[in-house]
Amino acid sequence: MAYKLEVNHPHFPKGFEFDCDGILVKNGESVTLSKEDELLFLGRWGQDVKHFYGHGTHAKVTGSSELSAKEKADAKPEVSDTPEIDEKDGGE
């Protein structure tokens, strides 16, 4: 079962369209995420939709990921513990 993202915000009219970090959802409705939606979100934020919106008040995520562990690992952006050095500033 794919992830489903639902938005219910009491201060906006039904049908108001929210851009949930690249996923468009109308207030009072839900959308089912495709594998491509999941990959794009994971690549952008480094975590899946359920973890990103899991503690939200007005957005709710149900279902489960359709991505394999390898697909998730491959989609996450690389993070370096070493800060980049700007050579023109002398590296300081």
pLDDT of residue 91: 54
pLDDT of residue 77: 77
In a domain, 31, yes or no: yes
pLDDT in tens, 2-14: 999 999 999 999 9
* Number of folded domains that form the chain: 1
Q: Which residue has the higher pLDDT, 54 or 15?
A: 15
In a domain, 82, yes or no: no
> In one letter, which amino acid is 77?
P
In a domain, 58, yes or no: yes
pLDDT of residue 14: 96
CB neighbours of residue 56 within 10 Å = 11
pLDDT of residue 16: 97
The whole domain housing 27 covers: 4-67
In a domain, 47, yes or no: yes
pLDDT of residue 54: 80
pLDDT in tens, 19-75: 998 899 999 999 999 999 999 999 888 888 999 988 888 999 999 999 999 988 888
Q: Is residue 83 pLDDT above 90, yes or no?
A: no
CB neighbours of residue 70 within 10 Å = 8
In a domain, 51, yes or no: yes
Residue 76 gets which letter from DSSP?
S
